[in-house]
A and B are shown apart, each in its own frame.
Chain A
Amino acid sequence: MDSCNCIEPQWPPDDLLMKYQYISDFFIALAYFSIPLELIYFVKKSAVFPYRWVLVQFGAFIVLCGATHLINLWTFTMHTRTVAMVMTTAKVFTAVVSCATALMLVHIIPDLLSVKTRELFLKNKAAELDREMGLIRTQEETGRHVRMLTHEIRSTLDRHTILKTTLVELGRTLALEECALWMPTRTGLELQLSYTLRQQNPVGYTVPIHLPVINQVFSSSHAVKISPNCPVARIRPAGKYMPGEVVAVRVPLLHLSNFQINDWPELSTKRYALMVLMLPSDSARQWHVHELELVEVVADQVAVALSHAAILEESMRARDLLMEQNVALDLARREAETAIRARNDFLAVMNHEMRTPMHAIIALSSLLQETELTPEQRLMVETILKSSNLLSTLINDVLDLSRLEDGSLQLDLGTFNLFAVFREVLNLIKPIASVKKLHVSLNLAPDLPEYAIGDEKRLMQTILNVVGNAVKFSKEGSISITAIVAKSELLRDSRTPEFFPVPSDNHFYLRVQVKDSGVGISPQDIPKLFTKFAQTQSTATRNSGGSGLGLAICKRFVNLMEGHIWIESDGLGKGCTAIFMVKLGIPERLNEPKLPFMPKVPTNHGPTAFPGLKVLVMDENGVSRMVTKGLLVHLGCDVTMVSSSEECLHVVSHEHKVVFMDVCVPGMDGYEVAIRINEKFTKRHERPIIVALTGNTDKVTKENCMRVGMDGVILKPVSLDKMRSVLTELLEHRVLFEAI
């Protein structure tokens, strides 16, 4: 026996059990060594494993366990103490590590478990999302289909194309077997099959509109499932197959009048079309909600598109109509213009042609009047004259009126004496009035300006016409003429609301009223008065002559003068009042102040005397001085005589209204005197009127006189009449340059 430190195993090594244990230990050790290798290999492969540290621990534990079993193999036979030592060390290490690992696992296993649950949760979520995505996708596809359909429908404005396209696209999108559109007939009592998808030309099937199923569809804005057996759905020959599901939806037919501003069109029309959609037979397809929604949306779009098409049709028709009318109007205008031109040419020619013989007739008749005639002959000649005068007036009137209507007549504006116009009218009318024993009175308002700017001739014509009418239509009584300046309260006459006169600084409105007590006018005739060629039919006026143009012309003149004319009458037999207002300009105040010596109502020849008019006469020649003085004294003036320029300048004052000076004597500078007088009197109205008396007949003298500011030049010798008219002229107009 060796005294080796061997340990004998418990049991003999040749025992069978021992052999099996030996083999098992060997395999265990093998497995225990290979497991960590595998672990390391796979962990190295996956980079994400989070518990490396645990793995290392585990690996160590396993390796040590394997080592333990491996060393155990040697303990089956006799083995030295060293082996036993190693074995023990290994076991101790293994124990430590496995305990550590066990402790570690206590921390780790719950974490691992929760990872697992989270994984499950996420998987569920993913499945759910998938489902939703599927839904959204379906919806989006529907939307796309709608958009596409809408685009197709709205890409045309033709009604037929719209409807056809709708059916086609719907059929395609929803894979329909048949799609049909029923439109209400004109009577509104039936629905007629208008369009289908498969059949090209639908024969006119009609269905009464008041079927319950149709009412059901029309009363709801949703697509409604209907039975495949109802009349609207039975358009295909019944096959041997199971018909697919049918859905119907209403399509509102909108009119232009439905579109209120800022309002969605109200569906109060109650006119609907019916769209019927059929799924293919023998398919197990059902109508899905999103498909129904699609159908409803499309139906609305179709309604809108149809209404647009209707509007377009309407506007096209209106535009065509307008164009036609424009063309017609253009033609009419051109024709009218041609007609007017032709008429004007005619008038112009006829005017001249007519006037020439008229002139001859009138002239020769008046000459004839002057000769020796028997009373009968005189009567005849007078009648001829009167008639030709009438005719001449008529010709003038017609020509005037046509010019007035063209608007080619223009007023001849000028400054004129307003009072003189009225006096003239009065003078002209007095003879006739006195023959008819009518009393004529003229009333001029005190604030009426004496001078005005306007068309004197035509104003006189107007006044004369109005007054003449008053005289013509009055058999007895009186005629009163009143002229005032229209104040603003009176300007807005209640009877003429459309007339808005606006007075200004440069203008005033003259209001003339002519009242007569004659036959009057009945109210229904008043509007016709100013119509040309229209005459009232009462017998009294039938023989009064006149062409009926007078008032029409007056109205035109008054309108040209921016005024208004009207006639009021209380009825037949109650007289009538003619009133007109015209706009006249106010001239510059050159003619003021009015001389207090001027008689208020001068006759046609002007004043015969100028009582008290202070006059200064400057003349070196005693004789002519005396003669001039004699002239002026005879006319009633208060004459001061001077014989030299110094004396003249000394004596002249603002009291002298006129200064007569002789300028043709050489050596005495009359011009100088004029200049000095001009300087002396700065205000124009204070300065006396300076008149040169000269025997010189050359233009130089006249120009010199005008240059130095003289107001007039007269040639010597001066007769009485000449002096009288000179003074009148000077005092009226402050200027007189005799033609030299």
Chain B
Amino acid sequence: MDLVQLQRQFVDYRTSLYHEGFLDEQFTQLQELQDENNPDFVVEVVSLFFEDSERLLNELARALEQQSIDYKRIDAHVHQLKGSSSSIGAQRVQKVCIAFRNYCEEQNVEGCLKCLQQVRHEYSLVKTKLESLFQLEQQILTAGGSIPM
């Protein structure tokens, strides 16, 4: 595939991500922060997000398996996850987190478990999408082109 086509594919893919609500404005902001001083900023942040989220999701699963559920702790974790996801613009994940927090407040185990599942789902989705996006980016860079804004 030649450069122009790659770039167009990239742009379309990215636009679709926005349209489908996987990403929001915040992601654009992140991209703006990337400059020659900070060339891999977005990748770094997203990687950090992935690490963080996985840790949090595991924590959450474990917490919800307990006999006596510590809702405060769960709420803390979900809050963190919400913060992280909103920081990088993972809109869907963020939305589920908000719902998750509500169930936590109600101390609704069922709801929490359901939300956890949802979060997992959304997270893996956005992870896949972002990884593909980065791959495309990498391909373009290797081909010698520049990432279209």
Complex: chain B residue closest to A723, CB-CB: B29
- Contact between chains at B25 and A624 (CB < 8 Å): no
CB of B84 within 8 Å of the partner chain: yes
Q: Is A633 an interface residue (CB 8 A)?
A: yes
Say if the beta carbon of A503 comes within 8 Å of chain B: no
Answer yes or no: A578 CB below 8 A from chain B CBs.
no
- Check if A720 sits within 8 Å of B52, measured CB to CB: no
Known: A695-B83, A695-B86, A719-B25. A666 touches B76 (CB 8 A): yes
B45 touches A627 (CB 8 A): yes
Any B CB within 8 A of the CB of A341 = no
A634-B35, A716-B86 given as contacts; is B80 within 8 A of A665 (CB)?
yes
Counting chain A residues whose Cβ lies within 8 A of the other chain, the interface size class is 20 to 34
Establish whether residues A634 and B82, one from each chain, have CB atoms under 8 Å apart when the complex forms: no
- Whether the pair B48, A630 counts as a contact (CB closer than 8 A) is no
Q: Closest CB-CB distance, B14 to chain A, in whole Å?
A: 18
**B87 adjacent to chain A (CB < 8 Å):** yes
User: Does A665 contact B76, Cβ atoms closer than 8 Å?
Assistant: yes
Contact of B76 among A627, A667, A695, A717 (CB under 8 A): A667
Produce 1/0 per residue, B58-76, CB < 8 A to A: 0000000000000010011
Which residues of B have CB within 8 Å of A634? 32-33, 35, 38
User: Is the C-beta of A408 less than 8 angstroms from some C-beta in chain B?
Assistant: no
CB–CB A717/B37 < 8 A: no
Residues B83 and A665 in contact, CB atoms below 8 Å apart:
yes
9 A-B pairs within 8 Å (CB atoms) are namely A623-B45, A627-B33, A627-B87, A627-B88, A633-B33, A662-B83, A667-B76, A719-B26, A719-B29
Q: Which residues of B contact A (CB under 8 A)?
A: 25-26, 29-30, 32-33, 35, 37-38, 41, 44-45, 48-49, 52, 72, 75-76, 79-80, 82-84, 86-89
Is A208 at the interface (CB under 8 A from chain B)?
A: no
Docked CA distance A720–B82 (Å): 20
CB-nearest residue of chain A relative to B41?
Answer: A630
User: With a CB–CB cut-off of 8 A, which chain A residues contact B82?
Assistant: 695
A623 touches B48 (CB 8 A): yes
For residue A602, CB closer than 8 A to chain B, the reply is: no
Contact: B33 with A720, CB < 8 Å?
yes
A residues apposed to B, CB below 8 Å: 620-624, 626-627, 630-631, 633-634, 662, 664-667, 695, 716-717, 719-720
Q: Are B30 and A620 in contact (CB under 8 A)?
A: no
Could you tell me the distance in whole angstroms from the C-beta of B52 to the nearest C-beta in chain A?
Answer: 5
Tell me the bound Cα distance from A667 to B74 in angstroms. Answer: 12
| In the complex, chain B residues whose CB is within 8 Å of the CB of A626 | 44-45, 48, 87
Question: Quick check: A630 and B45 within 8 Å, CB to CB?
Answer: yes
A630 CA / B88 CA spacing, docked (Å): 12
- State in angstroms the CA–CA spacing of A716 and B85 once bound together: 12
Cβ-defined contact, A622 with B29, below 8 A: no
B69 to A: closest C-beta gap in Å: 16
7 shortest A-B CB distances, which residue pairs?
A623-B84, A624-B87, A621-B83, A627-B87, A630-B33, A634-B33, A623-B87
Contact of A716 among B32, B75, B80, B83 (CB under 8 A): B83
Residues of chain A contacted by B86 (CB below 8 angstroms): 624, 695, 716-717
Q: Are B52 and A622 in touch, CB under 8 angstroms?
A: yes
Point out the residues of chain B lying under 8 angstroms from A695, CB to CB.
Answer: 82-83, 86
Closest to B89 in A: A717
Knowing A630-B45, A717-B26, A720-B33, say if A665 contacts B79 (CB, 8 Å). Answer: yes
Residues on the A chain within 8 Å of B48, using CB: 622-623, 626
Q: Which residue of B lies closest to A662 (CB)?
A: B83
In the bound complex, residues from chain A placing their C-beta under 8 Å from that of B88 are 623, 627
Q: Are A621 and B38 in contact (CB under 8 A)?
A: no
* Bound form: Cα–Cα A719–B84 in Å: 15
B52 in complex: contacting residue of A623, A664, A717, CB < 8 Å: A623
By a CB distance below 8 angstroms, the chain B residues around A665 are 76, 79-80, 83
With A623-B52, A626-B44 as contacts: A666 and B79 at CB distance below 8 Å = yes
Query: Chain A nearest CB: distance from B31 CB in Å?
Result: 10
Instruction: Specify which of A623, A630, A667 is in contact with B83 (CB 8 Å cutoff).
Output: A623
Cα A620 to Cα B30 with chains together (Å): 19
Whether the Cβ atoms of B38 and A630 lie closer than 8 Å is: yes
Seed contacts A622-B52, A631-B29, A717-B25; 11 additional CB < 8 Å A-B pairs: A623-B49, A626-B45, A630-B30, A630-B41, A633-B33, A634-B32, A665-B80, A666-B72, A666-B75, A695-B86, A716-B86
User: Which of A620, A623, A631, A634 has the most chain B CB atoms closer than 10 A to its own CB?
Assistant: A623
A716 contacts across to B, CB distance below 8 A: 83, 86-87
What's the Cα separation between A35 and B112 when bound, in Å?
177
With both chains docked as a complex, state the minimum distance between the C-beta of A737 and any C-beta of chain B, in angstroms.
22
CA distance A622 to B54 in the complex (A): 13
Q: Which residues of A contact B41 (CB under 8 A)?
A: 630
Cβ-neighbour of A717 out of B29, B45, B49, B80 (below 8 A): B29
Chain A residues near B26: list those with CB within 8 A: 627, 717, 719
Return A664 CB to nearest CB of chain B, in Å. Answer: 8
Give the contacting residue for A627; candidates B25, B30, B35; CB below 8 A.
B30
Contact A621 B35 (CB under 8 A): no
* Smallest Cβ-Cβ distance to A665: which chain B residue: B79
User: In this complex, what residue of A is CB-closest to B86?
Assistant: A717
* Chain A nearest Cβ from B90, distance in angstroms: 10
Q: Chain A's nearest CB lies how many Å from the CB of B132?
A: 20
Residue of B nearest to A628 (CB): B87
Complex Cα distance A667/B26, Å? 26
Q: Look across to chain A and name the residue whose beta carbon is closest to the beta carbon of B46.
A: A623
Bound Cα distance A634, B86 (Å): 19
CB distance from B120 to the nearest CB of A (A): 18
Query: Do A621 and B33 touch (CB < 8 A)?
Result: no
**Complex CA–CA separation, A665 to B72 (angstroms):** 12
**Distance in Å: Cβ of B27 to nearest Cβ of chain A:** 10
Q: Nearest chain B CB to A167's CB is how many angstroms away?
A: 118
Q: CB-CB < 8 A to B30: which residues of A? A: 627, 630
Chain B residues, Cβ within 8 Å of A621: 52, 80, 83-84, 87
- Which of A630, A634, A664, A665 gathers most chain B CB within 10 Å? A630
Distance of B98 from chain A, by nearest CB (Å): 10
Which of A621, A633, A695, A720 has the most chain B CB within a 10 Å cutoff? Answer: A621
Closest to A718 in B: B29
- In the docked arrangement, what's the CA distance between A630 and B48, Å? 13
Distance of A663 from chain B, by nearest CB (Å): 12
Q: How far is the CA of A719 from the CA of B27 in the complex (A)?
A: 10
Contacts of A666 in B (CB 8 A): 72, 75-76, 79
